[in-house]
Structure 1
Amino acid sequence: MEVVSSGTASLEIPGYQILKKINQGGMSTVYLATQRSMGRQVALKVMSPVLNADPIFSERFQREANIVGQLSHPNIVAIHDIGRYRSLNYIAMDYLPGGSVADALTKGAIEPLEALHITRQIAMALDHASNKGYVHRDLKPENILFREDGSAVLTDFGVARAVARTTRMTNTGMVVGTPHYMSPEQARGAAVDGRADLYSLGVVFYEMLTSAVPFQAEEAVAIAIKHLTDPIPRLPARHSLYQGLIDRFLAKDPDQRFQRGLDVVDAIDQLLAALDGKTPASTTKMNNTSVRVSSLLRALVMTLYGTLSDRLSARWARWRDKPLHQQNPRAEQQTIMRLQQVMQQAAPVKRRSWLFAATLLGSIALVWVLFSLFSNKFQWQSESGLVNDAVDLTSQMLLPPTYVDGAISNDSVPAELPGPVNPLTTSQTNQLRPVLRTESAAPTPAAPARVVEETAAEPETDDSLQSPPPTEPEEIAAEEAPPTYALKVSAKPRDARIRVMNIVPRYTPGMALEPGRYDIEVSKAGFSTVRRWIEITAADVNLAVELERRFFPGKSFQSPLKSGGKGPAMVVVAPGTFTMGNNRRPFTSPAHKVSIARPYAIGTHEVTFDEYDRFAKAAGHALPADEGWGRGSRPVINVTWQDAQRYAKWLSGESGQKYRLASEAEWEFAARAGTEGPFWWGDGSARGKANCRRGCASEFNSLFTVATAPVGNYKANPYGLYDTSGNVGEWVQDCFLGDFTNHRDDARPVQLKNCKLRVIRGGSMREPLRNISSDYRTGLSEKATSKEVGFRLVMEL
């Protein structure tokens, strides 16, 4: 056997520079190393020379390691290289500096929502592995690590499986799994599948909530027996909300557990939705044991029906003076059976006390009584009745006051009129004079009466309707009708609304109007309103009006601010559909279709120091540091997600518009600008298009220095947006999740209760070219600041 020292001084692996030892166990030693070919840091796991002395183990280890290398998932550690050097088997994998769940548990229990998110991510990893036909068999807190962004990653996948298949290995401690986390079938030595890993995940979830494992004993055998025989432990009262998950995770029978990782994800999503006050989208295996309200109501109705039938039969027998038969002891059982027949349509539930049933029944009765009372109290009027009331009210409002003995009479029908006022005919309504609502002329009390007299038609003579003749009859001289002229307004777009503001009738094309001045308004949502005065003298008037779009795709604008100056430059983006994400890189899969239903405006560049400093001074906040790179037109940095939210709120108050951070979907749609590749410029060179560390040939980056570039220094994408790739990463609204498994198909942001990580898009000047693509995303605490992170805003239209 060739012995090779495991110390960093003597260990040499071709292609790697060993930096330091990270961890050491009975089977392997893990080093932090630099992979020279890629220039990246990796965790280099070197297997123990004692194990490598067994050729069967070496062969099986190589085969298993190759299989693990094929498990490509954001929540499974990525393997970059597998090899053998001087009888040493080694694996180069992602370096995960965030520590493990075990490390986190040394500080006490983990917050429930954080524990849920960790469990959800590991469940997705287990589902992916199970679909490939592989079982972890040794899931425990030490094997769940964290990336720098806080996402959970499952490690040591397949090693325990390789050990289990090596029959020649009899070393102490070489067991498949860890006793505290073994499933019952694993403890029996029976065949296992992915459900055994879910049992272990449930134990880890329990431990994250309580900082203790569910089954404890001094000997491994005693622990295994507890897994096989002891009842599922109860969580503390403060965590009782999660008992349903624990019951499903730790069921002794695999058929009673979650059947796959996606079932766990679905159950957790349902629980998170309930905690967030939202209605769950679909029934999951977590809540399918609940009794449907409809089933319960039917059961109660049938029970009441049976009871009333029995009582009526007894009273009928007494009324007929017939002897009553002895109470049938099965009568009550038959009533209960009727209840059970309905309840069996749903899954069994825990028994409730009789007080719950009585309370529910009383509540139903109370609701029914209240409904009956209110339905009798409020009577709906017919449509004709409502119309008549409206006509009466309108008549009272529009008819002018009359003068009786020098005083104003408020009667709806003046006594001085020669007859009743008839409804206006179509031809009569078109012969109208304007009510002169000009700047200089104010209406007099007599003006409304004059309008009514001129617009009212001469009524037909009817002796039955005429008022009594005056005591001193006078002949009323007929006033000659004034001439009228046609008004026609031609508007673009054709569906624009046209109104004549200073007369009562609605505008109709070619309507007849008397000479005078008229206030014309043409308007349509999304267009600038046109309003102008026209004068009709002695000819027809044809008026052509073309409205200008207020916000059309590609339009650039700046909102004026109350305190003077203007807000950030914005550009309007039209709605559309695109493919979001990328299946070939972590955190961005699966790629999926997203539809943007409404247009929106987004900043043409990141918010600058000039723009942010104005807000900070007005609000009395400290100015963020510029790292010596300069302020002015450079993008603001060292601002938290919460700072960006405060700036958006301030800008909304200053402009009267609604500004906010973009959602992930809105940001990526605008950054892609109608392209399908990772970069809006295609496969060509990035020179002159972005500021990044390697691959952009940026003048702001050198071997020893790096800095941000002033906004707009590089070319804009086809939508007119600058620096969507590189320069600074940008805050968006969404909470950061490890992938798009539960993606949306619209532009709404992903929001979770107690969200701690927010999404950063676009990459920064310190990132290599591959990390500034349109689909690149990472996460950062919403309270953290970074010299690599700024933001841009969206304005709702």
Structure 2
Amino acid sequence: MEVVSSGAASLEIPGYQILKKINQGGMSTVYLATQRSMGRQVALKVMSPVLNADPIFSERFQREANIVGQLSHPNIVAIHDIGRYRSLNYIAMDYLPGGSVADALTRGAIEPLEALHITRQIAMALDHASNKGYVHRDLKPENILFREDGSAVLTDFGVARAVARTTRMTNTGMVVGTPHYMSPEQARGAAVDGRADLYSLGVVLYEMLTSAVPYQAEEAVAIAIKHLTDPIPRLPARHSLYQGLIDRFLAKDPDQRFQRGLDVVDAIDQLLAALDGKSPANTTKMNNTSVRVSSLLRALVMTLYGTLCDRLGATWARWRDKPLHQQHPRAEQQTIMRFQQVLQDSAPSKRRSRRYAGIIAAAVIITLVIWGKNPQWSSAPSPDPASAETELADSRSPVSAGAEPAALANSAESANLDNRGPREEAATPTVAAPSVAAAADAPAHITDSTQPAKTEGLPAEPAPTPAVEEAPPTYSLLVSVKPNDARIRIMNIVPRYSPGIALEPGRYDIEVSKPGYSTVRRWIEIGSANVNLAVELERRYFPGRNFQSPLKSGGSGPEMVVVSPGSFTMGNNQRPFTSPEHKIAIGRPYAIGAHEITFNDYDRFAKATGRALPNDQNWGRGKRPVVNVSWQDAQRYAAWLSQETGYKYRLASEAEWEYAARAGTNTPFWWGDGSAKGKANCRRGCASEFNTLFTAATAPVGNYKANAFGLYDTAGNVGEWVQDCFLGDFTNHRGDARPVQLKNCDLRVVRGGSMREPLRNISSDYRTGLSEKASSKEVGFRLVMEL
């Protein structure tokens, strides 16, 4: 397969300065760029050149720009420019640096009030698009992004269509969408309108509240069947106040849902007004989701019940010395406080206030009695989902259109589909699934009315011998992939791919994928010869990407930034310990900490493993870099983090550290020969506010500017442990990035200088040695994650 470089350095588009790659998918790559004519930062979406020959992808790319160009709304991404340069189609749009709802969900459920505000903003965007005659057709957490001010923005109209063309069918038997967020009519392949988008928005709201999608199964069609047949899921008890919204959003019949986005806005506004203790506005004819005091009382009882169950579970876990699942207590406390405020403000008389207070007290007493009688609470195990009779494609990828409708109908009737597990991987790709209701009843027997009837008493004419059609020729398809365990699928036929599969002449949709790599999708033409296709997948961790790995015990690991391979001159002939200068080649990308490990990071490890907390010298903990940790302590933290995340973390080698600290420069400091003010924390020469004539302290990480690779505090603040044994010079140093390791090594390298060093000792090449068992108030560390 043709491989096109996607590096920002090799990409040139007139009128734009490409800064870095910020996202990549199978169809396009998004870059952060500066539009020279306006001097503003934009997200530059560039279609992969290998897809230009395919009219389907080109049409989808152009359609997104045309549709969004007609939609002007603060909650819809804005298009600034569209064009083509050589083989590159591109769209310049708003740069949205706040991440997506999917990114937020990686940290757990979203606070209910925040989820309501996000839902309200997207509902207004959908209402505007619907009024203009467009249905989004692929609303999901990945397509809801945030501006710097936190406002939500709807993006990715690549599969949107005008209402006049809303059959959702792109080819015979194929539907477009993402199974977890498809409306029932969308799954059937029926015509859809704006109410299908509101159904998808309801799924997103459910997921924001619970961090899990409402319907889950192993196969795409099984998920679609759940949307068609399963009852509307119930929210946890503490979120029961929002069940009315979910019921309206996820109604199977579009006529029973919210009819337009403004109806959603009305319902949420009334709910928010009730929670704030204000008189809700009059409901519209289409909105019957008003909140009364009686509803709040019922919700309060359920909230108390859910809270008691959570507390009981937490007590049981502590008694058994097991880690606790972190909840979001602030939302519960805020809800209860607002319930109290509503009850106080809405009571017209003391008698009513006393009555409501009595009801609340009775509810609490009853709940406590029940709790006392049933100390052991357990939830019924979820039944295992039945397997579908037809072999179906993966729920995260397009599904072939050749599935038999009868098999789908049988699986809809027989499958036990109540599977509500935790949320699957955040970035679910857009898929094409077969229409669940595409079956047409065929008669059992067909009579040819064109043949004359048999005459009584006359011999029947001999039946004509049927012509035997010659079978079409077939040719083999062989796909060679790197890595060799990648998954290969042919998306538009039923048979699974096998090496050398025999195929008739025609066009075939090939997908190659593997977790951790970017998926490759391409149409190929089989004419009159065998086809051999070579595909090499790129790793998903592209240079410049920032990410945090989730921890098994809750929370996230340190922020990492991906560094691309390259070469540089290491060392400095003007210093005794850093000569001779020598060339180093970094052969593989790696991720290195954007910041030094903080007390927040290290204290979580220390508490989890029962270690003593390191002394902070009274400078403060939190986001300040951890100090008073030895090289051995840093190694133990790296091993614990590897176990918590499932990825390999370790200390950087000297070469990796210096390459990242220099950030492509060949000067002693990453900022060149200019002033160090505002760029580093050091004793003399930095004008640091954390250093006085008599005292010196660390600065919180990220307090100063980052270098060109996105790394903070590589100069000053604290020195940093690396893997290597300390030798007096680089005479025997290698030409690659591997660390120097010796038997019985006791002295380890410290790089970067500290807040107590003068400016000349915080350069990118500065190094010193320290016993691996020693700890210092001037030394911390940052980690590398292997990709």
Q: Which has the larger radius of gyration?
A: 1
Fold in common (TM above 0.5): no
Normalising by structure 1, what TM-score? Answer: 0.36
Q: Which has the higher contact order (CA 8 A, sep 6+)?
A: 2
Normalising by structure 2, what TM-score? Answer: 0.37
